[in-house]
Amino acid sequence: MSDSFKKSLMMRLGSAFVLGPLVLAAVYFGAGFYHAVIAIMGLVLIFEWSNMVGRRPLWLALGAVYVVFSVWALWHLRLDPEWGALIVFWLLAVVWGADTGGYVFGKSIGGPKLAPNISPNKTWSGFVGGMMTSAVAGWGVVSYFRPEVGLNDIGLSVVIASALLSVVSQIGDLMESSVKRRFDVKDSGNIIPGHGGVFDRVDGLVASAIALAAVNIVLQENLLAWLS
């Protein structure tokens, strides 16, 4: 394990220890606290997006729509009085698992590149490792809050759903990477040590939140309730 890898990993973990409790508290308490956090996030994302794409009206409009839908999705997911907090906790576990697992497995194992023309550092080992980490993390969160979700058919369904949502998260990551590459930008910002900007940290979250909210609408109920 190289010194640069260790340093980057420590910076990532440090940022997570600082920001993680704030985000988890917002999800837990909900209402005004949660709304304030996602609203501030939305404003920062629009600001960072505008810095990435410059004064290009079409791209600015595209980013604004994407951010508005992501903020709406996070608000919508938390509304359910019975399942709202759990599904957002699950979403965070999956996204954080994809990000952390992808980074650790990708850097440790290496191998063939996932999308070299978009993000040269991403590998297939990181992609698979992210899915595996997300599957375990997603199942762990749901089984903790819902003990009936154990090593059974429901638990297997949660594992599969977590892995699939991880794919969406990693696609969201690649989408942001493609925008940064198009406009020759290294990071969306520098507000978070080890991650760059807020968009660099939540690129997978916003994509996954939109997808998950859409699934809930199609099912006409919370996905986790449907799996149970």
Question: What secondary structure does DSSP assign to 68-109, as a single string?
Answer: HHHHHHHHHHHH-TTTHHHHHHHHHHHHHHHHHHHHHHHHHH
Query: 31-39 contacts: CB < 8 A, separation 24 or more?
Result: 34/78, 35/75, 38/71, 38/74, 38/75, 39/71
Side chain identity, residue 197: G
Computed over every residue of the chain, the mean pLDDT equals 91
Distance CA(108)–CA(128), nearest Å, equals 13
Interval 34-45: pLDDT, tens: 999 999 999 999
Q: Where are the beta strands (DSSP E) in the chain?
A: 113-115, 119-123
Residue with tokens 């969160």: 141
Structure tokens at 58: 């079409």
End-to-end CA distance of the chain: 41
What is the percent of the chain where pLDDT is above 70?
A: 90
What's the confidence (pLDDT) of residue 31?
A: 86
Burial of 106 (0-12, 13-18, 19+ CB in 10 A): buried
Model confidence at 212, pLDDT cuts 50, 70, 90, reads very high
Pick the more confident residue, 188 or 44: 44
Q: How large is the average pLDDT for residues 169-173? A: 96
Distance CA(54)–CA(29), nearest Å, equals 37
Does position 128 have pLDDT exceeding 80, yes or no? yes
Contact 44, 138 (CB under 8 A): no
